[in-house]
Amino acid sequence: MDLSLTIPSSNQHVELANPVFTASGTFGFGTDHSDATEMTYLGAIVTKTTTLNPRFGNPQPRIAETSSGMLNSIGLQNPGLEAVISDKAPSWTDIEVPIFVSIAAEDAAEFAYMAERLSTVAGVTGIELNLSCPNVAGGLDFSTDPKLASQVVEKVRKVTPLPIIAKLTPNVTNIIPIAQAVENAGANALALTNTLLGTAIDIERQKPILSTIFGGLSGPAIKPVVLAAVYKVAEFARVPIIGIGGIRTGADAIEFMLAGAAAVQIGTGNFLDPETPRKVIQEIQEYMSQHNINKLSDIIGGARR
């Protein structure tokens, strides 16, 4: 059975063995495993989001469990670009899985600088632009405005030949013009979507649970919302769509593919069970066998036909 996926780029295509990624912020920098061969079953790894300068993140508490997912307000805690390059990147060449480095920045020029810097680092397969973090001041500005989002992608496109994934927010009235804008600016894939803005309140303390009051809701609760976004954007997109939101099983992944996604990312599922990505891949294979599907790409967008 052929589960392969191609991510196009300006001068090189990235071939993935299967369409199951780990989502940013849920798998560290891909360097926590003592044995790199433990990860070879994955289609790709998206690293924890990196910023130009180190970030300590938001004050505790910054994670809250919900009845059907979780709220997080980590605040992009990370050691900064240069520390990631010097301390994390050397291990990436030993990992036989494509590595997409997630980056966030304060403006388009900073995004471009980081992307250009990473383009010369061995082991970096591509860049995921985190245009949509809901728990960092200013983080939503890029992906709620087609003009701002496209400006970021356009500047990054000029400085790197690597594949660019644009990660968008669901916290908009209409995601289609934003998706179209970043695609037209040079994005090679669209990651749909980041978390939904949410909050939770401790009724005993009578205070919000998160120190920042608001955080990003992920997990099964947001799956129908994200699935709708994928379905809508797939009508217009000419580049691969990567679905993110509540994917815990192979059936969840197949739903996204039938809606129009070419790949999926596993996020909250990694916290519930670190074996979730492996199980999703196995269950996709079982589905293909049961339905006599030889090539997974044949069913992409099948629910739309």
Q: Catalytic residue positions?
A: 133
Alpha-carbon torsion angle 243, 245, 251, 255, nearest 10: -50
Residue type, 282: Q
Dist. CA 246–CA 65, nearest whole Å: 14
Q: Which residues contact 269 (CB under 8 A, 6 or more apart)?
A: 219, 247, 248, 276, 277, 280
Which burial class, exposed, middle or buried, applies to 61 when counting CB atoms under 10 A from its CB (0-12, 13-18, 19+)?
middle
Whole-angstrom CA distances from 255 to 138, 202, 205, 246, 274 are 32, 35, 40, 11, 21
Structure token pair of residue 293: 């599907």
